[in-house]
Amino acid sequence: METPVEMQFDDPAQQREASALGMWTFLASEVLFFGGVFTGYSIYRWKYPHAFAEASHHLYEWIGAVNTAILLTSSLFIALAVQALHTERPRRAWRLIIATLICGLAFLSLKAVEYWMDYQEGLVPGVRFDASKFTDPAPATLFFTFYFSMTGLHAAHVISGLLVLTVIGITLRRATDPGKYANSLENGALFWHLVDIIWIFLFPLLYLIGGPK
């Protein structure tokens, strides 16, 4: 498979190596980015264990669980898409990318529904918050501040990931030699996997800390 080699690279192998290292380095920075807010959350969770557990019980676990399954499946789809492109089956790759995008949109839709329900319940600090639901409203407010910040940032990354995969997918679809874009798809898939992994940490930390209701 021939890849278009950019001017600064000597050969396709160098280009591949560079783009892979570049994506992994970027992922490292994203881990640190989310790491900051995870650290803040963990410290407050340690400080207010009961208030946080109580607040967590107000979240919709089932939506969180379904979303986890959706994201995990989407990661599977995109991994299969990469494999499809490597084994010269671009149409299959295209279908799998579509499947990933559908999962991503499903995730976002469920998230939107969940946010709406949180709003109805009065769980949005500063916007609509029913302090009377909680024994100790101040740490509960803190919990929901982190909940919306963390899931909001994550959702922004989901949207970015979907945009990136859409662009790559369309490029692939239109290309006469889709195999050229195996690298790009691999990097896009890496980013998607990161988005998935962040969610895998988010879900238990936010939704499951109180134990069963």
Partner 1 sequence: MANIDGAPAVTDYLQTGWRARDWFLSTDHKRVAILYLLSITFFFFIGGLAATLIRVELLTPPSNLVSKDVFNRLFTMHGVIMVWFFLIPSIPTTIGNFVIPLMIGARDLAFPKLNLFSWYLFSAGGLFTLGAIILGGVDTGWTFYTPYSSFYAHSAVVLVILGIVVAGFGSILTGLNFIVTVHTMRAPGMGWFQLPLFIWSHYATSLILVLATPILAITLLLVGIERVWQYGIFEPSLGGDPLLFQHLFWFYSHPAVYIMVLPAMGVVSEIVPCFARKHIFGYHFIAFASLAIATYGFLVWGHHMFVSGQSPYASLIFSALSFLVAVPSAIKVFNWTATLHKGYIHLRTPMLYALGFIGLFVIGGLTGLFLASTALDVHVHDTYFVVSHFHYIMVGGAVMGYLGAIHFWWPKMSGRRYPEGWGIFAAILLFVGFNLTFFPQFLLGYGGMVRRIAEYAPGFQVLNVMSTAGASILGVGYVLPLAYLLWTLRRPPDAGPNPWFATGLEWQTSSPPPKHNFLAAPQVGEPYDYAEMPRDIPWS
Partner 2 sequence: MNLPLAQFWSTGMPQRASEGAERVDALLLGLLGISAFFVLLILILIVRFVITYRAGSSADRANPVRKTWGWELTWIAIPSLLMVGMFVWAGMLYLHMQEPPADARTIYVVGKQWMWKVQHPEGPEEINELHVPAGEPVKLVLSSQDVIHSFFIPVFRIKQDVLPGRFTTLWFTATTPGVYPFYCAEYCGTEHSMMHGQLVVMTPGEYAAWLDAAVRDAEPVPGTPGSPAAPLALGQQGAFYRLGCVACHTRQSAVLAPRLDGIFGRPVRLANGQTVIADEDYIRESIMYPNAKISAGYPAPSLMPTYAGQVSPADLHDLVEFIKALRDGWPSEDPYTWRILTAPRP
**Residue 26 binding: pick among partner 1, partner 2, none (C-beta 5-8 Å cut-off by kind):** partner 1
- Please tell me the distance from the alpha carbon of residue 8 to that of residue 18, in angstroms, as a whole number: 11
Q: Between 72 and 138, name the residue whose CB sits nearer to partner 2.
A: 138
d(CA 73, CA 200): 12
Q: Which does 176 bind (CB under 5 to 8 A by kind): partner 2, partner 1, none?
A: none
What is the rounded distance in angstroms from the CA atom of residue 137 to the CA atom of residue 129? 10
Nearer to partner 1, 33 or 116 (CB): 33
Distances (CA, A) of 207 to 15, 57, 149, 211: 42, 7, 14, 9
Q: Which does 211 bind (CB under 5 to 8 A by kind): partner 1, partner 2, none?
A: none
132 binds partner 2 (CB under 8 A): yes
Residue 59 CB-density burial (10 A; 0-12 exposed, 13-18 middle, 19+ buried):
buried
Minimum distance of partner 2 from residue 207's CB (angstroms): 23
Q: Which residues within the stretch 40-69 sit at the binding site for partner 1 (CB under 8 A)?
A: 40, 43-44, 47-48
Contact 66, 110 (CB under 8 A): yes
* Residue 181 in the binding site for partner 1 (CB under 8 A): no
Closest to 158 in 3D by CA, of 193, 186, 208, 118:
193
Query: Among residues 1, 138, 163, 175, which is the contact residue for partner 1, using CB under 8 A?
Result: 138
**Are the C-beta atoms of residues 85 and 182 closer than 8 Å to each other?**
yes
- Give the residue with the Cβ less far from partner 2, 141 or 184: 141
Q: Which residues of the shown chain bind partner 1 in the complex (CB under 8 A)? A: 6-9, 14, 17-18, 21-22, 25-26, 28-30, 32-37, 39-40, 43-44, 47-48, 125-127, 138-139, 141-142, 145-146, 149
Q: Which residues of the shown chain bind partner 2 in the complex (CB under 8 A)? A: 125-126, 129, 131-132, 135-138, 141
